[in-house]
């Protein structure tokens, strides 16, 4: 098949089959069809390869020597776009701040923040789950971890949203516009973080920026740009995924009140239910890679330099891997979903996201006897092809 090496942004361009908002908020029938009909296919419109089967997606994510994360879409080199050995060194460094003990110690503070948000917003019996709860919670948590002043949380959410937004269509104008917005957000973030980094150089605090300033890799301190890139990555990765995980979970529970009742009566099932949300309504639905050299995948020959979009949301419903893949099973075990990726780029913040979701969802169900979607407000997808979530989610609650 004729193809050209793509130096662009295929993982940001909407796939034609899911361009419409109506399909984008529930694209899984499309993914199932594509997985069965064209498990690995070249999309001339987006100049990239799409991969839909679990086995193939996992293979791509598991072999960074064949499929690189470097895509040239960011001013800042961060963990998402680094390959070994640099990736291994940098990840080992950040792992120091995300040990199981360190994450577990955050549970009381997460619960405290969640309860404050519930108390502030739920008095009228109606709330926008994204704006009032699922959005602020992870932003506050990651901002406190990084060392951000509380007054700046709203700014951080706006910048973070901009960095995951994709173009409205496949036109050059739309792509230029969204990239200009991203670069502007990165510049503003870089300026903001530079100020905090300079403060921490003179006065260390108990936060991640101070840890990064003290860290060394092979006897070398991190450069200013490396610290900056870490901060920007932690901001975006630390809140967007968790916001969508919590929202997608509540969305499913309003679509299936029986599951809501089950989890309210058996909160010990919440950890496996959260894993099933990650499989069934994954917050990240596609992950981009670039072929390092010519390679064969799923019977197709892919040229070096070609972009590959790995559809996690399709792989997570592959019947060759999951029994009854289109059925939500709160107690599904085992559940080898790819909702947090796979291999060396497995989501660094996965333990924190899981903890936040478990705490937040149990507190919501404990506080409210019933949570229902306000169907007067149609669902609007987040304008990003690689994110599965909605801009807002209005719910009615009763105690």
Indicate whether 69 belongs to any domain: yes
- pLDDT for the residue numbered 126: 87
- Copy the structure tokens of residue 175: 């792509």
- pLDDT for the residue numbered 1: 43
CATH number at residue 33: 1.10.630.10
Task: Indicate the pairing of strand 48-51 with strand 40-43.
Answer: antiparallel
Positive or negative: CA dihedral 289, 294, 300, 305: positive
Coil, helix or strand at residue 317: coil
Split into its structural domains, the chain has a count of 1
Indicate whether 320 belongs to any domain: yes
Does residue 6 have a pLDDT over 50? Answer: no
Asked if 71 and 288 touch (Cβ cutoff 8 Å), the reply is yes
108's enclosing H/E stretch is: helix 107-121
Give the model's confidence band at 277: pLDDT under 50 very low, under 70 low, under 90 confident, else very high: very high
- Copy the structure tokens of residue 167: 């173009």
Using CA atoms, how far apart are residues 2 and 388, in angstroms rounded to an integer? Answer: 31
Estimate to the nearest angstrom the gap between the alpha carbon of 46 and the chain centroid.
22
Q: Which of 24-28, 46-50, 85-89, 121-125 has the lowest mean pLDDT?
A: 85-89
At residue 389's C-alpha, the angle toward residues 251 and 291, to 5°, is 140
- pLDDT for the residue numbered 11: 57
| Residue 36 vs residues 17, 29, 39, 76: alpha-carbon distances, Å | 15, 11, 6, 38
Phi, psi of 300 (to 5 degrees): -110, 145
Give the model's confidence band at 355: pLDDT under 50 very low, under 70 low, under 90 confident, else very high: very high
Look-up of token digits 């009381």: 108
Phi, psi of 310 (to 5 degrees): -95, 115
Does residue 7 have a pLDDT over 50? Answer: no
Give the model's confidence band at 168: pLDDT under 50 very low, under 70 low, under 90 confident, else very high: low
Using CA atoms, how far apart are residues 129 and 398, in angstroms rounded to an integer? Answer: 14
311: nearest Cα among 43, 25, 56: 56
Give the model's confidence band at 212: pLDDT under 50 very low, under 70 low, under 90 confident, else very high: confident
More confident residue, 182 or 297: 297
Q: What is the pLDDT of residues 191-210, one digit of tens each?
A: 888 988 999 999 988 888 88
- Copy the structure tokens of residue 282: 């994954």
Residues in Cβ contact with 326 at an 8 Å cutoff, skipping those fewer than 6 apart:
28, 32, 317
Q: In the predicted model, what is the mean pLDDT of the chain? A: 85
Using CA atoms, how far apart are residues 238 and 4, in angstroms rounded to an integer? Answer: 35
- pLDDT for the residue numbered 171: 65
Give the model's confidence band at 140: pLDDT under 50 very low, under 70 low, under 90 confident, else very high: confident
- pLDDT for the residue numbered 342: 83
Indicate whether 4 belongs to any domain: no
- pLDDT for the residue numbered 4: 41
More confident residue, 175 or 303: 303
Give the model's confidence band at 112: pLDDT under 50 very low, under 70 low, under 90 confident, else very high: very high
- pLDDT for the residue numbered 149: 77
Indicate whether 384 belongs to any domain: no
User: DSSP string of 243-311?
Assistant: HHHHHHHHHHHHH-HHHHHHHHH-GGGHHHHHHHHHHHS-SB--EEEEESS-EEETTEEE-TT-EEEE-
- Copy the structure tokens of residue 98: 């995300």
More confident residue, 261 or 176: 261
Does residue 185 have a pLDDT over 60? Answer: yes
Indicate whether 275 belongs to any domain: yes
- pLDDT for the residue numbered 89: 65
Indicate whether 25 belongs to any domain: yes
Look-up of token digits 């599951």: 259
Average pLDDT for 381-391: 89
Does residue 84 have a pLDDT over 80? Answer: no
- pLDDT for the residue numbered 259: 97
Does residue 123 have a pLDDT over 90? Answer: no
Indicate whether 383 belongs to any domain: no
Indicate whether 128 belongs to any domain: yes
Average pLDDT for 267-282: 98
Domain around 249: 10-378+389-398
Percentage of the chain lying above the pLDDT 70 cut: 85
Look-up of token digits 């499989």: 279
Does residue 341 have a pLDDT over 60? Answer: yes
Residues in Cβ contact with 287 at an 8 Å cutoff, skipping those fewer than 6 apart:
11, 61, 309, 310, 312, 341, 345, 386
Give the model's confidence band at 5: pLDDT under 50 very low, under 70 low, under 90 confident, else very high: very low
- pLDDT for the residue numbered 75: 42
């Amino acid at each position: 098949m004729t193809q050209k090496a793509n130096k662009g942004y295929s993982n940001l361009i909407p796939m034609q089959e899911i361009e419409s908002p109506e399909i984008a908020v529930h694209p899984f029938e499309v993914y199932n069809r594509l997985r069965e009909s064209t498990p690995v296919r070249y999309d001339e419109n987006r100049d990239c390869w799409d991969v839909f089967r679990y086995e193939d997606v996992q293979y791509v994510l598991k072999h960074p020597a064949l499929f690189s994360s470097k895509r040239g879409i960011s001013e800042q080199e961060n963990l998402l776009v680094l390959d070994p050995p640099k990736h291994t060194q940098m990840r080992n460094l950040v792992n120091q701040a995300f040990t199981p003990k360190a994450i577990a110690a955050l549970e009381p503070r997460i619960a405290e923040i969640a309860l404050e948000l519930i108390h502030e917003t739920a008095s009228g019996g109606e709330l926008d789950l994204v704006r009032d709860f699922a959005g602020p919670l992870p932003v506050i948590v990651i901002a406190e971890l990084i060392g951000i002043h509380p007054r700046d949380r709203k700014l951080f959410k706006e910048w973070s949203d901009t960095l995951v937004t994709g173009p409205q269509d496949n036109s050059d104008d739309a792509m230029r516009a969204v990239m200009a917005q991203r670069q502007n957000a990165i510049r503003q973030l870089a300026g903001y973080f530079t100020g905090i980094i300079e403060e921490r150089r003179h006065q260390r605090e108990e936060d991640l920026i101070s840890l990064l300033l003290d860290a060394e890799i092979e006897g070398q301190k991190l450069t200013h740009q490396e610290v900056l890139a870490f901060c920007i990555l932690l901001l975006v990765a630390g809140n967007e995924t968790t916001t969508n995980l919590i929202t997608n979970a509540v969305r499913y529970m309003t679509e299936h009140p029986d599951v809501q009742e089950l989890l309210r009566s058996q909160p010990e099932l919440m950890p496996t239910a959260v894993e099933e949300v990650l499989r069934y309504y994954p917050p990240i639905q596609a992950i981009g890679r670039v072929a390092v050299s010519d390679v064969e995948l799923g019977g197709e020959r892919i040229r070096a330099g070609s972009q590959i979009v790995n559809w996690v949301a399709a792989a997570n419903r592959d019947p060759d891997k999951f029994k009854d893949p289109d059925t939500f099973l709160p107690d599904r075990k085992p559940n080898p979903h790819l909702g947090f990726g796979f291999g060396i780029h497995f989501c660094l913040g996965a333990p924190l996201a899981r903890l936040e979701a478990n705490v937040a969802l149990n507190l919501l169900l404990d506080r409210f006897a019933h949570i229902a979607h306000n169907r007067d407000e149609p669902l609007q997808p987040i304008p990003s092809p690689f994110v599965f979530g909605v801009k807002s989610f209005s719910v009615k609650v009763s105690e």
